[in-house]
Amino acid sequence: MKQSGIDDTIFFMEARNVDENLRAAWNQFVACSQASPILQSYEWGELKSCSGWQPIRIAVFDGGEIIAGASILKRKIPYLSRSIFYAPRGPILDFKDGKVFDKLLEAIVLEAEKYKAILIKIDPFVLEENKEVIQMLKSRGFIRKRKQIQPRATLHIDLTKNLEDIIASFEEKTRYNVKLSKRKGVNITEASNDEGMEIFYKMYRETGTRDRFLIHPASYYRHIKKLIIDKGFGNIFLAHYEGSPIAGVLIFTFGEKVWYMYGASKREHRNVMPNHALHWHVIKWAKEKGFKIYDLWGIPVKPSEDHPLWGVYRFKKGFNGRLTKLIGVYDKPLNSIYYHVFDKGLALWQGLRSLVTKGKISDSLGE
């Protein structure tokens, strides 16, 4: 018998933590969502646990089915008995249903209180033009942040088109370089094994030194191999020229999407265009596997020639992907004093790190 005055939706919804027993159900929920973000997968939480984060997965259930959720990364703030909560590319839900969002947010806040979290940081897959969601977040105490963690803008290549139409849509120079790499004899192989990861990492370390950006230690990429690639959610492709590897990409796969996450190249033989060959190979490979979107991951929100990622933008733009801009990072402060101290301290530390690494204070995700 229904109870008078009680909303049935709220009455039957239940929020609780997700553990190993619900791994498959969680991954299915994430994979079937609009964005199917691998950063919300069960495995991504395991990966980040290797570098100081603790994954906490909270879901809203309706009749035993997950209808909303967030994989949160918790990190203790050094020297303080406080922590931060961050949901990369989360939470996942139909934001049109404010009651479901409130149910999930309530559960996250209760969990945050257990760990004395000073903030809840989110950057969901919500398009920039979705003003209703932005207004809803603001009404729940969320504050928009200019400092991004994940790229707010990207390019999506539609893999449902036939290959002829895909390559025909490339910019003329990109098409030329793809064909040039083939004429020059660049060969692409899959190397999703320990040896392939070691080869890729050495090139990636060289790339980071040359282009002056920070990379994780080798152990992090070995964890990627074990926890992502070996679980079937990633691949390594290497470009060879005259028998030697000269470039490589590390991609992630989840749901219907493929992500270009890391790219590496040697200084030598860049004139044979191995990077163009690699991406064309990934496109063909992904289409054959039945994936529908190739996400090129990060580009400037406002491209300009003085932006740190201008060269990256020009390269990716040549593949003519669909421009996608998201709302970006929003914070919900839970302790105003600690929050403002942490926010200013983090900005100072990031600026100093950039100054040491690049010789200037710059932000590749800045706008």
Question: ∠ at Cα 35 (331, 58), nearest 5°?
Answer: 55
pLDDT at 41 over 80: yes
Domain at 153-325, CATH from 3.40.1190.10, 3.40.630.30, 3.30.390.50, 2.40.110.10: 3.40.630.30
User: DSSP 3-state assignment of 250?
Assistant: strand
In this prediction, residue 4 carries a pLDDT of 35
Choice between 194 and 8, residue whose per-residue pLDDT is larger: 194
β-bridge partners, 17: 58
Which sign does the torsion angle of CA 349, 340, 308, 299 carry?
A: positive
Q: Phi and psi dihedrals of 245, rounded to 5?
A: -70, 130
Of 17, 21, 33, 153, the residue nearest 74 (C-alpha) = 17
Residue 107, pLDDT > 90, answer: yes
Question: Is the model's pLDDT at 134 over the cut of 80?
Answer: yes
CA distances from 73 to 107, 159, 227, 285, 354 (A): 15, 31, 16, 32, 24
Q: What are the residue boundaries of the structural domains of the chain, listed by start?
A: 8-150+327-358, 153-325
What is the arithmetic mean of pLDDT over 223-236? 98
User: Mean pLDDT score of the chain, rounded to an integer?
Assistant: 92
Kindly report whether the peptide bond that precedes residue 91 is cis, defined as omega within 30 degrees of 0. Answer: yes
Superfamily of domain 8-150+327-358: Gcn5-related N-acetyltransferase (GNAT) (3.40.630.30)
How far is the CA of 160 from the CAs of 235, 252, 257, 288, in angstroms?
21, 18, 11, 10
Q: What is the mean pLDDT of residues 112-116?
A: 96
In the chain the beta strands, taken as DSSP E runs, fall at 13-17, 54-62, 65-76, 83-87, 117-122, 143-144, 153-158, 187-190, 234-241, 244-254, 257-265, 293-295, 322-325, 330-333
What residue has token string 């992500």?
Answer: 259
Q: pLDDT value at position 356?
A: 42
Q: Which of 220, 235, 260 is nearest to 49 (CA)?
A: 220
> Does residue 354 have a pLDDT over 90?
no
pLDDT at 317 over 60: yes
Distance separating alpha carbons of residues 197 and 199, to the nearest angstrom: 5
Give the distance from CA 330 to its chain's centroid.
16
Predicted TM-score (pTM) above 0.85: yes
Instruction: Please enumerate in sequence order all residues whose Cβ is within 8 A of that of 78, keeping only pairs 6 or more positions apart, or say none.
Output: none
Q: What is the pLDDT of residue 365?
A: 67
Residue of higher predicted confidence among 236 and 8: 236
Answer yes or no: same fold for 8-150+327-358 and 153-325: yes
| pLDDT tens digits, one per residue of 189-225 | 999 999 999 999 999 999 999 988 889 999 999 999 9
Query: In the predicted model, is pLDDT for residue 182 greater than 90?
Result: yes
**What pLDDT, on a 0 to 100 scale, did the predictor assign at position 366?**
65
Q: Tell me the torsion sign for CA atoms 219, 41, 323, 301.
A: negative
Q: What's the rounded mean pLDDT across residues 53-77? A: 96
Tell me, what amino acid is at 90? G
- Could you report the per-residue pLDDT of 287-300, keeping only the tens digit for each? 999 999 999 999 99
In the chain, % of residues over pLDDT 70: 91
The pLDDT of residue 78 is: 84
- Residues 242-291 have pLDDT tens digits of 999 999 999 999 999 999 999 999 999 999 999 999 999 999 999 999 99
CB count in 10 Å sphere of residue 260 = 22
Dmax over CA atoms of the chain, in Å, equals 77
